[in-house]
Amino acid sequence: MSTTSLPAEQQPSRRKVSAPDGAAAERQLARWIAEGDEAALGELFDLVGPTLYAVALGISDDTRHAGGAVEETFADLWDKRAWLGQLPALSPWLLERCRAWAIALHSGTAVPKARAFQDRITDVPLTRRLLRCPPELRTSRVRDALERLSPHERETIELASGAGLTVAEIAQRLGAGTGEVHALMRQGLQLLRKELDRTLRRESV
């Protein structure tokens, strides 16, 4: 019997054989990538790459920047793979890095340093903690956090999330440039997340 292995492109997907699509597949791929499995990195790219590209394109409105953001995100992931298998979820980190790269490439600014995986192993994501709140309390927390933003930041976020307007439509509504809208949205979301995180962490102590 021949022991010659198939070329990489002909080998069956380890993910499809061992785990379903979704969170289970993502966790399994993370463990394999942490072991240095480049094929698993490619499968993770196939699994979440389209979503990351859509996020980056929505921020940069430039296909070159969007593609570059996704590529740099996966390069960051590979460089920091040693701790990868210990993360409870990988998508939040990937989205965070892709968003940071898209903003940096679009604005020509420096890319923020990636938060180390080992600092996030025991972190309960903000979204999960927020969803633990009863609906009425959750709404109240979000409303209170919005009130702490500047009027322009608050209006920008409400037009984007509540009214579902595009950046161009928000810019027209506010009489501002799209670059200013991106900056308001970025800063407002950062402050909103910081305020919600502070509130929820304080209540969970």
Q: What is the pLDDT of residues 16-69, one digit of tens each?
A: 544 445 567 777 888 888 888 888 888 888 888 888 888 888 888 888 888 999
User: 47 and 26 in contact (C-beta within 8 Å)?
Assistant: yes
User: 91 and 48 in contact (C-beta within 8 Å)?
Assistant: yes
DSSP string, 39-94: HHHHHHHHHHHHHHHHHHHHHH--HHHHHHHHHHHHHHHHHTGGGGGG-S-SHHHH
My answer on whether 19 and 111 are in the same domain is: yes
Check whether 116 has a pLDDT greater than 60: no
Check whether 198 has a pLDDT greater than 80: no
My answer on whether 112 and 199 are in the same domain is: no
Domain count, the chain: 2
Dist CA 129 CA 142 (whole Å)? 13
Q: Which of 122, 141, 164 is the last residue of a domain?
A: 122
User: Does residue 1 sit within a domain?
Assistant: no
Say what the pLDDT of residue 188 is: 82
My answer on whether 98 and 62 are in the same domain is: yes
User: Does residue 4 sit within a domain?
Assistant: no
DSSP string, 21-39: TTHHHHHHHHHHHHTT-HH
Most confident range (mean pLDDT) of 55-64, 89-98, 108-117, 163-172 is 55-64
Q: For the chain, give the percent of residues with pLDDT over 90.
A: 2
Which range of residues forms the domain containing residue 30?
Answer: 10-122
The structure's pTM equals: 0.50
From the list 105, 45, 53, the residue with the least C-alpha distance to 75 is 45
pLDDT band at 133 (very low <50, low <70, confident <90, very high): low
Handedness of CA 70, 71, 74, 75 (dihedral sign): negative
Say what the pLDDT of residue 200 is: 62
* Side-chain-side CA neighbours of residue 92 (13 Å): 14
Q: Specify the residue for token string 């940069």.
A: 60
What are φ and ψ of residue 121, in 5° steps?
-60, -40
Q: What distance separates the 2 farthest-apart alpha carbons in the chain?
A: 73
User: Does residue 104 sit within a domain?
Assistant: yes
- Mean of pLDDT values over 169-184: 86
Q: Which of 102, 122, 142 is the last residue of a domain?
A: 122
Q: Which of 122, 147, 177 is the last residue of a domain?
A: 122
My answer on whether 114 and 138 are in the same domain is: no
